[in-house]
Structure 1
Amino acid sequence: MGEFVIKMPDVGEGVAEAELVEWHCKVGDPVREDMVLAAVMTDKATVEIPSPVTGTVLWLGAEIGDTVAVKAPLVRIQVAGEGGEAEAVPMAETVTIAPSSPQRGEDARRADEGDSPPPLGQSFTSSDSAGHLLPAGEKGSRAALDTLAKPLASPAVRLRAQEGGIDLRQVPGTGPAGRITHDDIDQFLTRGVQPQPAATGLARKTTVEEIKVTGLRRRISEKMVLATSRIPHITYVEEIDVTDLEDLRATMNASRKPDQTKLTILPFLMRALVKTVGEQPGVNATFDDDAGIISRHGAVHIGIATQTPAGLTVPVVRHAEARGVWDCATEVVRLAEAARTGSALREELSGSTITITSLGAMGGIATTPIINHPEVAIVGVNKIMTRPVWDGSQFIPRKMMNLSSSFDHRVVDGWDAATFVQRIKALLETPALIFIES
């Protein structure tokens, strides 16, 4: 007789220790190979520990609730022949196992067949008429038989059977202790037994789709990382009453000429930006933080964040300071269409000095726009909602919209950011001011 020492296995994810949460055996219990001895818990999952040998438990190395270090002795088992020691192969209890590739190599198959089987029950103290060991306890032999009736197979074999609609109870196992192997499933299918259709309804999904980040998506990713890692953002949100502006917009659209583009709120906001940056040129700027130079631009080149099938692009309305409301509207539509069809020129997608971003009707209540590097400001348009507003004597319905604007706090102080947004607010709430030449 010899003694076999089972050590706490490495359960992965860089975990150095785990908490013992359950014993499935006690000192003196007979155990067999692949029987679950214990369960341990990490911060990510509960993992079952099976026995790699058959024998009798001599010693348990921890109490429930104890923390056990990886490779620390966990169980000592008396075995026939020479003893030894090894780390048990952990068996996941609450971790989803991703399916392997349909094209399986022989090395991968052999590794799968070495995986640990599902739990078989608790301690064994008696046997049934067929010679199977039965667990002790008050639940009796029926519960034991139900437990033992579960086919013995590795997780990979179980996954293959589940995906193929195969009832493992119908597959004879030729491995140790009747373990079902991949070869057994192959033989089962070769004999002409048709797999049962997989059950319909709710089912776990373990597929993972890997998408390589390339092209425009990669450039967007790099741009976002650059902006968020190098620009300290400050976001200022203000509520604006656009009731009068919406009335004006509806009136102008009703009387527009056939060749004129229908007005949205963006052309009015663009004109408001032009007037505001004329008073606060520090916001219509770019910042070369490597050289330590802030460039304030006389020209107002407004980037319009546009969603396209390939991803987010920012076509640029150049010299908005020289365009009226109708001209701005026409240029926005032209550039947006060019961006969506992929026909925009390089110069139409670069060189902006300040950006507007809007999600239209899905604009939300507030957002935190990311600045279009190397600019120092971006204005986010949120959705328009009719809300009750107190006028001093009663609540009246008003069309309200939030502006969510972000600024580079290295260049734009909080006071200047607030002043900038408040000036835009004044222009949009009294839209006639937008058309007054200063």
Structure 2
Amino acid sequence: MGEFTIKMPDVGEGVAEAELVEWHVKAGDPVREDMVIAAVMTDKATVEIPSPVTGIVVWLGAEIGDRVAVKAPLVRIETAGEGGEIRTEIPAAVTPAKALEPPLPALDLTKGTVPKAATAPREIVAVPAEKPLASPAVRLFARENGIDLRQVTGSGPAGRILREDIDQFFAHGAAPFPAQVVPGRKTTTEEIKLTGLRRRIAEKMSLSASRIPHITYVEEIDMTALEELRATMNRDRKPEQPKLTVLPFLMRAIVKAVAEQPNLNATFDDHTGVLTRHGAVHIGIAAQTPAGLVVPVVRHTEARGIWDCASEMNRLAEAARTGSATRDELGGSTITISSLGALGGIVSTPVINHPEVAIIGVNKIAVRPVWDGTQFVPRKMMNLSSSFDHRIVDGWDAATFVQRVRVLLETPALIFIES
């Protein structure tokens, strides 16, 4: 009989600590080799940690939301063999078994041996728990489809719920429980500890608001001509081409505008007082996901056309929504676009994505009456609400930049003319 210690793995890229975002086990639980026992997050990437041994969990070294240093003890597992410490490199990815597995045999700690499992596999029946075992991707799929995972029987190791289990749940005609309406006065309160991505968003917003003196400039844009062009391009597009939104046109307009004002395609280190201008235009697209706000980055927009911008933006948006975006795809932007689409409102005050110096906020398009000199005519109008770091960008420079973008969007043919 021995005891193995699993340490916080080294996730690479010089990261010294990671945040614990999910436990799949508790003290006293049996675990199998390769069974996922925890999930940690660093730099918006979630990594699952499997157990390299079979045994009983005897100690957990952190709580959800704790930051744990690399190589710090994370879990101790009592096994039938000799003890030791597990290496802290990330182990090879584990593919969950699709077939039913025999239940984990109980450890005979008096003899120090593990009894052999029965020859014929038996079906594992998940025991209802406060938080069923499932990977982040499975939890996201269940949440999007209104499924309470406590209703689903897991067929994975230790009752872990797999994607196939939810598909089977649907196949048998099961439906999510209807929302319960509770009448009467509510007097309860709930304290929610910010963890994972939500805490990182809070820290990033606090950093931006506390260090960057914002100036916001709002201008209305006549989008009528661009909307006509966009409709024509979408109608005539090839089957392999994506449907165009306003954003690819705005991205190309930004490329042209920052070429004339390079200080806006820049990052500012407020510790050293150094402004870094970037020749490459890496545009971050703020995207809302079920887990929270992330900013996937369309790299080298200066070298992409309208269709290429749209394709890459769609690919990154899907990766962000499903949680499969890599760290490289979620960082390194030089200027950011924030858009809420149809919910964009009339005016917004976007917060700059530190350490950048500018962010362009897109408001919704609405038909408004516009005076053409002789009469009011209906035009498709949209406001741009853009924020700038006032330490770097003066009001005149901000207005000049936005007015250049306005001209390009109102005369969309200019976007396609190489200067």
TM-score (norm 1): 0.54
How big is the shift at 1:208?
Answer: 1.0
How big is the shift at 1:209?
Answer: 1.7
SS of the residue corresponding to residue 234 of structure 2 reads helix
Pairing 1:313-328 to 2, within 5 Å after superposition: 313-328=294-309
How big is the shift at 1:305?
Answer: 0.2
Paired AA for residue 300 in structure 1: V
1:216 aligns with 2:197: yes
Partner of 2:368: 387
How big is the shift at 1:202?
Answer: 5.9
CA distance in structure 1 between the partners assigned to 2:375 and 2:206 by the alignment: 48
CA distance in structure 1 between the partners assigned to 2:183 and 2:298 by the alignment: 51
SS of the residue corresponding to residue 410 of structure 1 reads coil
Pairing 1:23-422 to 2, within 5 Å after superposition: 203-422=184-403
Larger Rg: 1
CA distance in structure 1 between the partners assigned to 2:396 and 2:352 by the alignment: 18
CA distance in structure 2 between the partners assigned to 1:338 and 1:237 by the alignment: 31
CA distance in structure 1 between the partners assigned to 2:341 and 2:272 by the alignment: 37
Paired AA for residue 277 in structure 2: R
Paired AA for residue 326 in structure 1: W
SS of the residue corresponding to residue 305 of structure 1 reads strand
CA distance in structure 2 between the partners assigned to 1:385 and 1:207 by the alignment: 41
SS of the residue corresponding to residue 263 of structure 2 reads coil
The 3 A distance-change label for structure 1 pair 271 and 203 is same
How big is the shift at 1:334?
Answer: 0.1
CA distance in structure 2 between the partners assigned to 1:220 and 1:201 by the alignment: 33
- Stretches of structure 1 that go unaligned for 5 or more consecutive residues are 1-199
Among 383, 388, 412, the residue aligned to 1:431: 412
SS of the residue corresponding to residue 221 of structure 2 reads strand
How big is the shift at 1:210?
Answer: 1.7
SS of the residue corresponding to residue 188 of structure 2 reads coil
How big is the shift at 1:203?
Answer: 2.9
How big is the shift at 1:238?
Answer: 0.1
1:363-390 CA deviation, whole Å, 9 max, x = no partner? 0000000000000000000000001100
How big is the shift at 1:212?
Answer: 1.2
CA distance in structure 2 between the partners assigned to 1:324 and 1:202 by the alignment: 55
CA distance in structure 1 between the partners assigned to 2:358 and 2:252 by the alignment: 16
CA distance in structure 1 between the partners assigned to 2:346 and 2:191 by the alignment: 33
CA distance in structure 2 between the partners assigned to 1:209 and 1:293 by the alignment: 44
Higher RCO (CA < 8 A, seq sep 6+):
2
SS of the residue corresponding to residue 393 of structure 2 reads coil
CA distance in structure 2 between the partners assigned to 1:289 and 1:212 by the alignment: 30
CA distance in structure 2 between the partners assigned to 1:204 and 1:345 by the alignment: 45
The 3 A distance-change label for structure 1 pair 201 and 259 is closer
Q: Displaced runs of 4+ in structure 1, greater than 6 A? A: none
1:200-245 CA deviation, whole Å, 9 max, x = no partner? 9963211112211000000000000000000000000000000000
CA distance in structure 1 between the partners assigned to 2:358 and 2:408 by the alignment: 18
CA distance in structure 1 between the partners assigned to 2:401 and 2:277 by the alignment: 15
How big is the shift at 1:257?
Answer: 0.2
TM-score (norm 2): 0.56
Cα RMSD between the aligned structures? 1.0
- Number of residue pairs aligned between Structure 1 and Structure 2: 239
Paired AA for residue 284 in structure 1: N
Partner of 1:137: none
CA distance in structure 2 between the partners assigned to 1:325 and 1:384 by the alignment: 20
CA distance in structure 1 between the partners assigned to 2:267 and 2:360 by the alignment: 15
- Stretches of structure 2 that go unaligned for 5 or more consecutive residues are 1-180
CA distance in structure 2 between the partners assigned to 1:290 and 1:337 by the alignment: 35
CA distance in structure 1 between the partners assigned to 2:343 and 2:371 by the alignment: 26
1:182-210 CA deviation, whole Å, 9 max, x = no partner? xxxxxxxxxxxxxxxxxx99632111122
Identity of aligned residues (%): 78
Paired AA for residue 255 in structure 1: D
Partner of 1:148: none
CA distance in structure 2 between the partners assigned to 1:317 and 1:349 by the alignment: 9
